[in-house]
Structure 1
C-alpha cells in the first residue's frame, strides 16, 4: 500500500514524517526484550491478537543442540513451562507465549550456524534457528533448489515447519514446506533417569513423524530439520490481470496447468491477477528476481503517513477515500509487476525469468541495513506504520467456489465496502496439496489470505466491520474452512478440533512426548483443548469472542440502534423470514426466524425489536433403517415464540421460506390458550418443512 500511493502522498510525507528521518536505524527489532523486571516476547507487529504483553521470567539462548537439551532439562527439573521462540516473530496468535509465571522462553535465535547440504542425496540439514533466506542461498550455491517456501522469507526453519507455512502448488509434494521434510529432531521432556530431557529423531514413516511435522511447538522444541531438494531450476512468471467475473470457475484449471500458480483477487476493482508461474530449465535466459511490493523497505515517513491517512479515512467513515487509494494501489501494482524485476533494478516486461532461490520468496525489508536511518518494514510498530488483521482460511475446492460466489453477492450490494482490503493485497489465493501431517491439510486445498485495517484503539469499531465479520463467519462457520495456525483472530479457531481428522491422534502424540504438559500454554488451552476464556468488554471487536452480551460489542459506539443511518440499515436488513441466532436468555444459541419486525418500537417496548419463532428442541437425525414410528419421533420439533430486542439477536445471511404471519401474531402472545394454539401451528409447519428436507441448516443444532 505504501509504495502504491507514494507519488500522490510525497509532499504530505515529507512534512508529516520529517522527524522520522532522523530516527535511529530500523532493521526489525528482536522479538525478546529483557530488563530488571523480566522479559517480554513480542511479534513483528507490536501487538498480539489480544494486545496483552507476553511476559516471562527468563529467556535462554542456546547455540548448540546440547545446550538446547540442557535448557529443556533445566526447565523440566524446575517444573517450569517452556515455549520456543526464534530470531523472527511473525505469528499473530500467541503460539510462543508461555504462562507469565514459572516459565521460560527458549530462543533459537543464536542456534543458527549449521547448514549442511548433501548434494549426492539432494538434502539439506539445518539448525532450527537458521533463517529461510540463509538456507536458500546455501542450497542454491550448491546447485540445488528448495521447491517449497512461504512467500515471506523472514522466518526460521523450525518456526515455519511447526506452524504449517506454505507457498503455492498442487504439484509433486505440494506447496507446504513440512511435506518436504525427510527427518527432524525434537528435544522433549524425559524422566530424571534420562537427564530430564532427550533428543528424539523422527524420520518419514516413523509413527510420530506426522504429528511432529506440524507440531505448533506442543510436542517439544525442534532442534534440526532435514529437507529434500531438487536440481537447480528457474521459474518464469507472468501476471495477467483479468475481469473477475469467472475466476471462481477457472481456479482449478489454473492450478493444474501451472506448478506455482496463484491468484490475487481485488473485489472492489472487479479484477483478478492470475500468476502464470512455471518451472523452466536452468539455461533459460533471464536473471530476474521477486521483490514483492508488500515486503519492500519503505521510507518510515511514508509508512507513517499512509497509516495516518488510512486511520483518518476509517474514523471519518470515508469509504470513497479508501476506494481512491485502492484504485491507485492496483494501478501501481500493474505498472511494476507487483515487485518482479527483470534484472537487479527494473521490471522491463513479461515474462520475468529467474533462479528458484530468487523467485520463490521475498522480504527485502527484513534486511533493512542498520546504516539506513530512513527505511523499515511498513508494519514496524516503532514508527506507527501499518496495523492490520490477517485472516487465512483453507477451503476444499468445492466450498471455495461457493464462498467466492457468496462474497461476490455481498460485494455487489456495495462494492465500495471492499476497498479497504484492496488497499492491502486483496484476496491472495494459493494452493496447498493434501498432507499426511496430522495438523496439515487433509485434502487438496485452496487457501485464501486477506489483510484489513485494525484500529489503534481496541474499543473502536472499524469502518465496514460488519462486512469483514461476515466474510470471516462465512469462511469458518458456513463453509467450515480451516484456519492457518500462525494467523487469524481467535474466533477463527472455534471448533477447529473437528476440522482435522487426525486431531485426536495429535493429542495422543502430545501425551506421549509431553505427558506433563510442559509445552502447553494459555493459547493451547483455549485453541487445542477448547477451554473457555473470560470474555472482557469489547472482546468481539478484536475477534477474541463471539458477541453474546452488549458489553462484548461496546454499545457506546455503533452497536446501539438510534435514529439515523444505523436504523435505516437495520430496517432493510432485519426483515420477516430472516434467520437469526438468539444471544440472550434461556434460548441463547437457538435459531429463530423473524415473523414481524418493529423497527420504531412500540408503546410497550420503545426500542427496535422483533417477533420471532424459534426452535427450543431440535429434531434428531433420521436414518434409512428407522421405522415409521421412530422417524416420526425423531422429526418432532418444539418451538418457542418470543419478542426479542434487536440487540439480543445475531442476524444471519439466510432466510427461511415458511409463512407464519397468519399463525404467530402479537395477539397470540396475549393469552396462554392463544399462545399454545400458535405454538402447535408453528410446530406443524416447522415439522413439515423439516420432513421435506429443505432448510436442513435451520434444523441443525449449533455446536459450542
Structure 2
C-alpha cells in the first residue's frame, strides 16, 4: 500500500494519519523502514513510525517450521522498537497497525523574511507551530517560514498542498531545463544559475528516469536541536565567504528544514532533531564534479544521515551514533540468523562487516568516500582535496580557480 491510498482510505472513515513525508507516492513499508517523517516536535513528533502500534512480519525459518515464521510485535513488545525502523533487514512486513486520529484540516501561511536571525529561529520555530518548517534560500538571503497548524475539520476552505517539486510537468520543458542547467554547471557561470530557470510521456515527474530531464541528488541529515543554531551559523559564514557557493541549492528550491521528535525506535532519533534536506545538481557523467554541494561541516555537530537519502560516505560510522544499535542487531540476529534479508551493503551500513566507503579514483566526487588524496577528487578538472573553509578538520573536493571568473565551492 502506498501512502496516498492509506490517507484516502483513512479519510473515508473520518480519520487521519497526523504526520507523513511530503510525497505520498512512497510505500508504507518503505517509509517506515527508512524512518520517513514530516515536520513537528509536538506530541510524538513527525516520524510516521511513532504512530505504529503493531506489525506483522514474516521472517525466515528452517524447513521444520515451514521456512517462515509470522511475528506480531504489539505496542508493548520490545521488538517493535526494532521493527518500526528496520532498514528492511528483519523480514517482510505484511501488515502495519497505525494509531490514527480524528480527521482535521490544517491552516497554512507562508512568511518570507531575511535570514539574519535564522540561526536563532531554527531553535524556536518547531515549538511555535505544530507542522511548521522552513525553506532557506541561502543565495538570496531569504527564508520561507511555514506557519502550519491544526484546525477543526469544519473550518471553511478545502485547499490542496500541491508542492511544486512533486508535480508533473511537460516533458519537453524538463529536458530543456536540464540542458540549461548542464550549461550553467559546466561553464561555472554561477551568476546566471538562479535565472536559468503519463499521456505518452507528454508530461512527467522531474525525476522520471525515462527522460533525460532533471537529475539530482537529494541528501538529508539530522542534527540535535540544541546544535542546529551553530550549524546554521557555520553555513551562513560559508555563504558570506562566497555568496555564489550555495546558489544551486536555491535553484532546487532551497534547503528544506524540518523537525523530528525523539523516538524509542532503536534506529530512530535519540533526541529532538532538526532535519536539513538538500537537493542539488547531479551530472549524468560519472566522475564529473557538481558545483555548490555541501555537507561536510555537518560532521562537526554529530549529524546522522537520513536513512533513505544519502550516499556512501555519510553512513561511515553512523551506526555508532545510535545508542541502542546493539539492541537492534540482537533482534536482527533472532529474526534472520541466516541473513536472508541482509546484503553486503546493509552489513556495511550497520557496522557488521566492512565500510560503506569505496576508496578509488574520483570517489569523493561521487560521494563514495571522504577525500584524503587529490586523486579522490578530480584534479584534471581543477578539484583538489583540501581542508574546509569553515570546518578545517573536514576534507572536501575544492575547486581551485584558474581565472577570475571561476570560484571556490567548498564547505
- 1:520–1:227 CA distance, 2 compared to 1 (3 A): same
Say whether residues 1:486 and 2:314 are aligned partners: no
Name the counterpart of 2:20.
149
Name the counterpart of 2:407.
none
How many Å apart are 1:580 and its aligned residue?
Answer: 6.1
Name the counterpart of 1:541.
365
Name the counterpart of 1:512.
334
Q: SS in structure 1 opposite 2:213? A: coil
Q: Deviations over 1:470-512 (max 9, x none)?
A: x31111x211111110111111112102211111111111111
C-alpha distance in structure 2 between counterparts of 1:513 and 1:387, whole Å: 38
How many Å apart are 1:555 and its aligned residue?
Answer: 2.6
Say whether residues 1:230 and 2:54 are aligned partners: no
Name the counterpart of 2:324.
502
How many Å apart are 1:371 and its aligned residue?
Answer: 3.5
Is the 1:459–1:538 contact (alpha carbons within 8 Å) kept by the matching residues of 2?
A: yes
Q: SS in structure 1 opposite 2:72? A: strand
Q: Which runs of 4+ in 1 moved over 4 A?
A: 578-583
Say whether residues 1:472 and 2:343 are aligned partners: no
Q: Deviations over 1:379-422 (max 9, x none)?
A: 11211111111120111112111000000000001211221000
TM-score, with structure 1 as normaliser: 0.54
Say whether residues 1:258 and 2:129 are aligned partners: yes
Is the 2:215–2:283 contact (alpha carbons within 8 Å) kept by the matching residues of 1?
A: yes
Is the 2:17–2:100 contact (alpha carbons within 8 Å) kept by the matching residues of 1?
A: yes
How many Å apart are 1:425 and its aligned residue?
Answer: 2.1
C-alpha distance in structure 1 between counterparts of 2:388 and 2:2, whole Å: 52
Name the counterpart of 2:404.
none
C-alpha distance in structure 2 between counterparts of 1:142 and 1:582, whole Å: 53
How many Å apart are 1:581 and its aligned residue?
Answer: 8.0
Q: SS in structure 1 opposite 2:313? A: helix
C-alpha distance in structure 1 between counterparts of 2:392 and 2:102, whole Å: 56
Q: SS in structure 1 opposite 2:257? A: strand
Q: Which runs of 5+ in 2 are unaligned?
A: 401-409
TM-score, with structure 2 as normaliser: 0.91
Is the 1:428–1:449 contact (alpha carbons within 8 Å) kept by the matching residues of 2?
A: yes
Say whether residues 1:557 and 2:385 are aligned partners: no
Name the counterpart of 1:281.
152
Name the counterpart of 1:531.
354
CA RMSD, 1 decimal: 2.3
C-alpha distance in structure 1 between counterparts of 2:9 and 2:199, whole Å: 25
C-alpha distance in structure 2 between counterparts of 1:548 and 1:474, whole Å: 16
Name the counterpart of 1:397.
225
How many Å apart are 1:551 and its aligned residue?
Answer: 3.0
Name the counterpart of 2:61.
190
C-alpha distance in structure 1 between counterparts of 2:48 and 2:24, whole Å: 12
Is the 1:461–1:558 contact (alpha carbons within 8 Å) kept by the matching residues of 2?
A: no
- 1:183–1:378 CA distance, 2 compared to 1 (3 A): same
The higher-RCO structure (CA 8 Å, 6+ apart) is 2
- 1:211–1:192 CA distance, 2 compared to 1 (3 A): same
Say whether residues 1:158 and 2:42 are aligned partners: no
Is the 1:323–1:416 contact (alpha carbons within 8 Å) kept by the matching residues of 2?
A: no
Is the 2:358–2:369 contact (alpha carbons within 8 Å) kept by the matching residues of 1?
A: no
Q: SS in structure 1 opposite 2:124? A: helix
**Count of paired positions:** 396
C-alpha distance in structure 2 between counterparts of 1:209 and 1:581, whole Å: 37
Q: Deviations over 1:151-193 (max 9, x none)?
A: 0111111111111010111112211000000101111011221
Q: Deviations over 1:614-647 (max 9, x none)?
A: xxxxxxxxxxxxxxxxxxxxxxxxxxxxxxxxxx
Higher Rg of the two aligned structures: 1
Q: Which runs of 5+ in 1 are unaligned?
A: 1-129, 330-369, 562-569, 584-598, 600-651, 654-704
More helix as a share of residues? 1
